[in-house]
Each structure stands twice: as structure tokens, then as C-alpha cells.
């Protein structure tokens, strides 16, 4: 019997020489799934491969965590109702606890180092942006004092800024063992890390 080459029959080929971060994979997909992805790719004006990669990335970074925790994904209006009606102090305490549990589990499951970059990519972008609690996160340096800042935006008003900024400060301080301050806005908030040299 002929000996299989490395990767043959597994659906995987060697990484691309042009882009080492990419690996070519052979998949057998249901025709209906392919048709829907092609439709989405056309709507987003991207290639089929780019759309598949985006879908799989969102699954790995968000939906896999949701499935593992048996979490509920709720409509935007229902979330706004919760923000408006639930006691702010109670919501903040619970969000701190839940967030800490999720982040600890994520770092253990993935083996990632406790760094600011990983916290941004896998927690704030991977879970929070995909989950809808925020719409974006931007990292920058305050020119006045050289401190690293994170600016978060969302759609849920000033009360949510207060709740979420307190929770996110707690997450950042717990993971990075640092100190932070925050500035609130109706559409978002800024968290400033007071220590230098964190990455």
C-alpha cells in the first residue's frame, strides 16, 4: 500500500508559503451551507474564503464559549430592558463575578498568557463585541501622560457605561495586576491603565 504523505487524507495541507499564518484545508460542506455563505460573501463584498474564515473565527472566539457555558444570547431590546430595570449595584457585582469566571476559564482553556493584547483580542473583541455588550474597543496612548488607554463604545446609555466600566476595570486589574481609572460618556467609556509597560 502506498504510504500517505504528511497531512494527506486529513483535509490539511502545509501552511501557505506566501502567508504562513494561513493553512489550506479541504472541506466537504453541505450544498445549502455553501449557497448561504456565497450569498453572504456577495452581500459583504468579500471572497468566499474570507467569509468562511470570518464565520469560523467568530465561532472559535465567541460561540464555542457560549456553547460550553450553555449561555443565552438575548435580543438587543431585552438587554436594554435589563439595563433599565435591574438595580445598578447588583448588576455591577454580578457582571464582575461572571466576567472574572469567564476570563479565568478562557485563559486556562486556551493556554494564553495573561497579557493586555490577549485580553483585548479574546475577551473584549472575541466575546464582548461579538456578544453585543460593546460595539468596539480601541487601544491608544494618552499623549498627555503616556498611559495606555482603552476606549469602549456601546448602544445602551450612561447607566451601562457605569456598569460596564466598573466590570471591565475589575477584569483588567485582576488579569494584569494593575490599577486603572475611567472616564464615562453616554456612548462609551475610557479605561486608563496607570502602570507603564503592560502589553
Q: How far apart are CA 178 and CA 193, in angstroms?
A: 7
Give the per-residue pLDDT at 151.
98
Q: What is the total residue count of the chain?
A: 199
> Is 80 exceeded by the pLDDT of residue 8?
no
> Is 70 exceeded by the pLDDT of residue 4?
no
Dihedral angle, C-alpha 46, 47, 49, 53, nearest 10 °: 0
Q: Residue 18 — very low, low, confident or very high, per pLDDT cuts 50/70/90?
A: low
Mean pLDDT, residues 1-22 taken together: 53
Q: Which of 111, 173, 165 is nearest to 134 (CA)?
A: 165
Give the per-residue pLDDT at 1.
41
Q: Would you say the pTM of this structure is higher than 0.85?
A: no
| DSSP E strands, the chain | 12-15, 23-25, 136-141, 148-153, 180-185, 188-193
191 φ/ψ angles, rounded to the nearest 5 degrees? -115, 125
Give the per-residue pLDDT at 14.
53
pLDDT one-digit tens code per residue, 51-99: 988 888 887 777 777 777 777 788 999 999 999 999 999 999 999 988 8
> Is 90 exceeded by the pLDDT of residue 149?
yes
Give the per-residue pLDDT at 3.
43
Give the per-residue pLDDT at 88.
96
Q: Which of 113, 73, 105, 91 is nearest to 165 (CA)?
A: 91
Amino acid at each position: 500500500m502506498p504510504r500517505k504523505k504528511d497531512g494527506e487524507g486529513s483535509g490539511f495541507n502545509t501552511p501557505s508559503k506566501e502567508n504562513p499564518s494561513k493553512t489550506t484545508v479541504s472541506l466537504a460542506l453541505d450544498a445549502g451551507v455553501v449557497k448561504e455563505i456565497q450569498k453572504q460573501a456577495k452581500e459583504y463584498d468579500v471572497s468566499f474564503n474570507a467569509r468562511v474564515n470570518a464565520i469560523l473565527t467568530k465561532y472559535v472566539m465567541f460561540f464555542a464559549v457560549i456553547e460550553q457555558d450553555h449561555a443565552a444570547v438575548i435580543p438587543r431590546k431585552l438587554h436594554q430592558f435589563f439595563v433599565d430595570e435591574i438595580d445598578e449595584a447588583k448588576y455591577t457585582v454580578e457582571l464582575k463575578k461572571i466576567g472574572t469566571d469567564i476570563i479565568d476559564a478562557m485563559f486556562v482553556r486556551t493556554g494564553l498568557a495573561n497579557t493586555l493584547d490577549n485580553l483585548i483580542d479574546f475577551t473584549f473583541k472575541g466575546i464582548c463585541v461579538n456578544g453585543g455588550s460593546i460595539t468596539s474597543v480601541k487601544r491608544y496612548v494618552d499623549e498627555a501622560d503616556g498611559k495606555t488607554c482603552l476606549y469602549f463604545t456601546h448602544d445602551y446609555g450612561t447607566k451601562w457605561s457605569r456598569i460596564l466600566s466598573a466590570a471591565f476595570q475589575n477584569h483588567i486589574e485582576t488579569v494584569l495586576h494593575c490599577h486603572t481609572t475611567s472616564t464615562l460618556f453616554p456612548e462609551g467609556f475610557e479605561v486608563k491603565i496607570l502602570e507603564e509597560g503592560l502589553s
